[in-house]
Amino acid sequence: MLSTVFLTLAAALLQACTASPVLSPLPVSEGLQFPKPIPPKKDPWYTPPDKHWVSKPPGTLLRVREAPGNFTLLKHAHKVYNLMFRTTNSQNQSEWAVTTVFFPKSPAISKDGVLPLLSYLIPYESACLDASPSYSLSEYLAGERLNVAVRDNIVKALGNGWLVDIPDYEGPKASYFAGQMAGHATLDSIRAHLKVFAEHMPLIKLRYAMLGYSGGAQAVEFAAELQLKYAPELIFSGAALGGVPANALDFFRACSGTIWSGAVVQAIVGVMNQFDKVEQYAMSLLKREKRDEFLSAREMTIDESLRRFANKNISNYFKTGEDGMENVISKEVLASDCTMGNLGTPQMPMFIYQSIHDEAMPIKNTDVLVEQHCNNGTKITFERNTIGGHREGGVNAFRSVWRFLGEVMGGNYTTPSKCNITDTSYNFTLTSDGISSLRR
């Protein structure tokens, strides 16, 4: 049924340049192309091609296809692919994951063959597989519902001529808030790209950095902590992260009973999706009459969940109240997957940004994390912004984030000799600042 086609991905990449001997076609493992994207729960493409994938090394490419959906709506996007690759879940078992990679219209390949690749971890924060960006991005684009900050970050990177890699870092179990799953998938996505380029475009060297806010920052941070042990061969140029959920319990306490309650539900259900033992324990702790309502989060995007659970006291879903919410995830899993700072020291320069008045992710936890990593040798620039809360924090640091990314990708970043922690007062709106002109 499936015919093997060879897509000239390389030609796509270098369309703007003259014919280049460095590029050869990328073999695409299936030719079946859906005119419209199918939700991952129903799309047979979201199944590994054979049983042998479990024993392949992490980062092995398992499947490639041209991404379904109409991405021409996104300015500067040329070709968009889905890659499936082998990764590792939070329990050190073989897992697979999917990423979506955008090729820019005018790739910025330097004279010495360096091409920047931005690993952009978008905050999809849902325990529903169909909320994975490989599917939801094109749906959101078609419906004009794509978060403006997310869209502008993608368009800005593509406009710079960078590749943009957007992994479904929660994996096939939609394990939102399972930190190691997210970190491994992020690292293995980079490995998959490096392998593709080494094999098919060996004269191009990828230079890569990460960007993520909120749930995306969790993936960035765990990837950064895990890198030295899990993927020691990777050399990141930098990592930018903001609105950092450094401590699960403080995040739950801060958000329960607020407009952010739905994020707490998604996080708990996401961790249940990853760990059977958490699932079993949660089922025994949830009040029988409220269980279905709680678990309905499994069918929701983060926006739907925020609406559905707005201002609900999450303790009220548990037989043991406050104690239930705080103990539903075992101490062991909280430590390994939901609390930052326990798995290693990031080796790349970092830029961290957060609103001092972030009402969802209390900044005191980020302060502690930054101090710990700095003491262990990570070079961090930390901008604590006096204006705005969690939502605004994703946008107020836009200029600083892009200055940092521009320098680490341009190869002209001067790593500070020690950490630089500053209070700033940025008040930036995407629409009034010219960034909106990047949009179509």
- Per the CB < 8 A criterion, the answer to whether 40 and 132 are in contact is yes
276 noted as active-site residue: no
Q: Which residue is nearest to ligand NAG (CB)?
A: 410
- Per the CB < 8 A criterion, the answer to whether 77 and 157 are in contact is no
Residue with tokens 């939070």: 90
Residue 48 vs 388, nearer CB to ligand NAG: 388
Rounded distance between C-alpha atoms, residue 328 and residue 236, angstroms: 35
Residue 78 vs 298, nearer CB to ligand NAG: 78
Min. distance of Cβ 200 from ligand NAG in angstroms?
Answer: 25
Min. distance of Cβ 400 from ligand NAG in angstroms?
Answer: 6
Residue 261 vs 266, nearer CB to ligand NAG: 261
Distances (CA, A) of 373 to 183, 352, 379: 17, 12, 8
Residue 188 vs 407, nearer CB to ligand NAG: 407
> Mind giving me the DSSP string for 53-86?
GGGSPTT-EEEEEEPPS-GGGSTTEEEEEEEEEE
Rounded distance between C-alpha atoms, residue 282 and residue 298, angstroms: 14
Binding site for ligand NAG (CB under 6 A): 70, 72-73, 92, 256-257, 313, 315-316, 321-322, 344-345, 372, 375-376, 381, 383, 387, 400, 406-407, 410, 412, 416, 420, 422, 424, 427, 429
Min. distance of Cβ 333 from ligand NAG in angstroms?
Answer: 15
Min. distance of Cβ 24 from ligand NAG in angstroms?
Answer: 27
Q: What are phi and psi of 57, to 5 degrees?
A: -65, 150
Catalytic residue among 138, 358, 373, 400: 358
SS3 category, 352: strand
For 171, residues 6+ apart whose C-beta sits below 8 A from its C-beta are 87, 89, 95, 96, 97, 181, 185, 274
Catalytic residue among 78, 168, 390, 400: 390
Min. distance of Cβ 93 from ligand NAG in angstroms?
Answer: 8
Min. distance of Cβ 128 from ligand NAG in angstroms?
Answer: 25
Residue 301 vs 355, nearer CB to ligand NAG: 355
Rounded distance between C-alpha atoms, residue 89 and residue 194, angstroms: 21
Q: What are phi and psi of 309, to 5 degrees?
A: -110, 10
214 noted as active-site residue: yes
Which of these, 171, 175, 130, 179, lies nearest to 271 by C-alpha position? 175
Residue 24 vs 315, nearer CB to ligand NAG: 315
Residue with tokens 């760990």: 275
Where in the sequence numbering do the catalytic residues fall?
214, 358, 390
